[in-house]
Amino acid sequence: MESIKELRKMCQGPRKTYDTWYGINICRRISIYITRAIIPLGVSADFVTIVFMAVGILACLFFALGNNFGFILGVAALQLWYILDHVDGEVARYRNKSTVTGTYFDKMVHFVVHTSYYFCLGWGAHRDLGNSAAVAIGYIAGISTLMITASEDLIHSTVLERFMFERKEITFKGRDERGNLPDPKKKSIARSLYNFIHIVCTFPHD
């Protein structure tokens, strides 16, 4: 069996485009040990995705209980969900079996869990405090998160659709002739506000 250091090179590698500070310094430091433990068991990356989906839904249900014990269990389960979210990709890269289906399933789980835990937090707060406004706030937060995540995925689907029909080079408004984004220090106020809202809604996962 490969060492942890060797597995990090094989399964993690340079992923600066996708990883956040939390992912690099917390999740991936822990996830590789779980990956090393389950690789000899022969489980697939899709099986790990199913497990981490179940953990994410369980976290949401804990939040919905509306008591301190449920909140603590929900936080713990949600952190485990973030870690397992890295494990399925590591297993896929180790077995060299990364598939479009697996990526789609992984993204679908993100949509479900990211939206649901805001709903459940709102419902749990309503049960604990007796304030129906908490349900509305949770609903708004969940829908907002869903829309922000969907807006990012729409970029990829739009690019793919245009490429399939036009079969020509695709360019983005705001990029230079080499396809590079403008200096991040020169972002518009609207773009800066969008980035801030995105970070708040998806931290620590994305």
The tokens of 30 are what?
A: 């822990």
Q: How far apart are CA 179 and CA 194, in angstroms?
A: 22
The tokens of 181 are what?
A: 């984004």
pLDDT given at position 15: 61
∠ Cα 160 162 163 (to 5°): 65
The tokens of 81 are what?
A: 């969900």
Q: How far apart are CA 172 and CA 155, in angstroms?
A: 10
Residues in the chain: 206
pLDDT given at position 78: 93
pLDDT given at position 177: 44
pLDDT tens digit at each of 206 positions of the chain: 788 989 988 888 766 556 778 888 888 899 999 999 999 999 889 899 999 999 999 999 999 999 999 999 999 999 999 999 999 989 999 988 878 888 888 888 989 998 998 999 999 999 998 888 999 999 999 998 888 888 878 877 777 777 777 765 555 555 444 444 455 445 566 556 656 665 665 555 54
Q: How far apart are CA 67 and CA 127, in angstroms?
A: 8
pLDDT given at position 119: 94
Could you give the 3-state DSSP secondary structure of residue 153? helix
Q: Is the dihedral of CA 87, 92, 95, 101 positive or negative?
A: positive
- Residue type, position 161, single letter: E
pLDDT given at position 172: 52
Residue with tokens 């992984």: 106
Of 52, 166, 190, 155, the closest CA to residue 110 belongs to 52
pLDDT given at position 12: 86
